[in-house]
Structure 1
Amino acid sequence: MSRKPLKDPLDLLDFSSTLTDEEREIQATVAKFLADRVRPHLGEWFESAHFACELALELGKSGVLGMHLEGYGCAGTNAVSYGLACLELEAADSGFSSCSA
């Protein structure tokens, strides 16, 4: 009996196969933002006890803040998309996940 190899070996339950293309895109977009704008600076920010409040503006402009809400210029995305964005924020730094709630 041969098994089909997983696309992502860290996704043991093949959870990603249950996501829509839009949900995957949202997760990838948030992950890329964090990889580019947050992760390279985390050590420095930790040592200097700095929270990059200016990134909240960027998160807001990109639609991440309040993304699960409707109206007020918010995206009104589904709960899964919001959860995936929060997952990526938490994985990078728990301070940023608190900022997005």
Structure 2
Amino acid sequence: MATVPVTDDTFDAEVRNADLPVVVDFWAEWCGPCKQIGPALEELSDQYEGKIKIVKVNVDENPGSPSQLGVRGIPALFMFKDGEVVSNKVGAAPKAALQSWIEEAI
């Protein structure tokens, strides 16, 4: 299962009302570090299929969600459980670090 693109309009349905824990990746086309972690997030999405959902929000096209959450720098990763933020992480990280962050949060 690949990462799911989410917009401001679909954010509540896809993230806050999800049955599974959700990792939200706030990113932009021009952001180099965002592109660095993209492939790792795709792999983790496959690895954790059925356990978590990983979604991506383009901050240039969808400014509402990141501003509600106080996102100041990207890439910004937020873990939601039962509609609430339980953890967040700013900046690029290697796949192993992303995986251990996910493990701690779920």
TM-score normalized with structure 2 length: 0.26
Report which of the two structures shows the higher radius of gyration computed on alpha carbons. 1
In terms of fraction of residues, the more helix-rich structure is 1
* More contact order relative to length (CA 8 Å, sep ≥ 6): 2
In terms of fraction of residues, the more strand-rich structure is 2
